[in-house]
Amino acid sequence: MEKRIEIMDYQDDFYKIMSESERKLVLYGMGAVAENVYLHFTNIFCVCDRKARNGELFHGIPVIAPDDLEKMDEKLAILICVKKEDYRTQIVDMLLSMNIDAFVFDFYNNSSFNTFRQQKRKIIKNACISKVRLVCSDNGWILCKFAEKMKEELLKSGIQAEIGKGVDITADINHHIAFHLYEPLLDCNDTLMITHVDTINKVNLIKHQLQVAKMGICMSRDMMSQLVQMGVPREKICYINPAQDGVIKPRKYVLGITHRVYDDHRKRSGALLDICNGINPDYFEFKIMGAGWEQIVEEVCKKGFLVTYYPEFDYDTYVQLIPSLDYYLYWGFDEGSMGYLDALAAGIGTIVTPQGYHLDTRNGLTYPCNTIADFIDVLSKLEMERYKTVSAVTNWTWENYTKKHIEVWKYIIGQEEGIYDNQHKYEDGINSVYRI
């Protein structure tokens, strides 16, 4: 028999071809896929499987080994019913080597069968990002800043980067800052910075643009999720949180003390040194008014704390000082501090001992403390609160912002190397492409 084997494409209608030919139907495979599909065919000639045993039946249908196919003097239509794609590829290669007359169909790659076809990312060997055009036609300072900062970081990464009002067809990526001026006329590996989508017309514009553009990059998970809910293709949208310049430093808590130092230690002035040993000078500074603190202030400054010291009491200065505090401190046990009353009048917090007339002020004790350990514990908690606030954006730098774009761009051009390295370090960027 003359060898005539054809591997059918997705568009080749299985049922139409079978109805127009007299070919014998052979199911290849007798696993879970075959168990699910065999009932849909009434004319199965036999089942072929490499694990076939002599005389075996599959639901009453004869089972043969692949070598037996060449013994048949029949025109065959072989339907490969195997789940794993690499196995199906191996089966096709084996069939191509046989001397048979057969049309070979792939159950998972034929328009006649309503199977899920997973979209696979095309990997391109030696693909790399070497040139990026940042398309910025807007004269607004914020968008221009994004373009300038990204250019700076791209150049640091060894990637040629230019800012222009139009696309560069020679660039590996054209990144549009922002989306609203992009016209999807030509596929230039375009990505779109998406922000401030506040009308349905903008949503529809993005849908239109992403028919050509490779990826829309939002600034937040929330915006990404909203756009997906409104019909923007999930596979074409991700998010990268914006950056901050890293030049603004957190304001320190200003702690106030407004009493003099007494020789009999009634105010326990030296306790300030013990408290300073337990807190971080990056988060606290002191304003002290009262005589006798010179030696203690010198030691506190040596520990790295900023101290504004007023050795003499001046009423006008005092009236301005109290409202400038964040917390008023007092650790004495001599019935109370008059400065405590003024602190409450100014509406500032208090970290003081719960004694004397302190106890008679309703809601006046913000943090009552009895021991040095209590004061350190309260101030450490305030320090941690400030640290948590600051650390919320510590990694939101222009360097990281740009690196996350590079990872997304690598994904777009088919580069495999390095794009999975940071999948457990953050959730945006390339990780928002993969995750639902």
Range of the domain at 63: 4-109
pLDDT tens-digit series, residues 157-207: 999 999 999 999 999 999 999 899 999 999 999 999 999 999 999 999 999
Residues 212 and 325 in one domain: no
Mean pLDDT of 293-303: 96
Cα distances from 305 to residues 241, 248, 296, 395, 426, in angstroms, run 35, 19, 12, 26, 35
Residue with tokens 């007494």: 262
227 vs 433: CA distance, rounded Å:
14
pLDDT tens-digit series, residues 372-413: 999 999 999 999 999 999 999 999 999 999 999 999 999 999
Predicted pLDDT of residue 267: 58
Residues 104 and 166 in one domain: no
Mean pLDDT of 99-108: 96
Residues 274 and 368 in one domain: yes
Predicted pLDDT of residue 276: 97
pLDDT over 60 at 249, yes or no: yes
pLDDT tens-digit series, residues 118-167: 666 677 777 889 999 999 987 788 999 999 999 999 999 999 999 999 99
DSSP 99-118: --EEEEEEGGG-TTS-----
pLDDT over 90 at 362, yes or no: yes
Residues 263 and 384 in one domain: yes
Give the chain's domain count: 3
Output the average pLDDT for the chain: 93
| CATH number of the domain where residue 212 is located | 3.40.50.2000
Residues 150 and 59 in one domain: no
Write out the two tokens for 418. Answer: 């390095």
210, part of any domain:
yes
Sign of CA dihedral 106, 107, 112, 114: negative
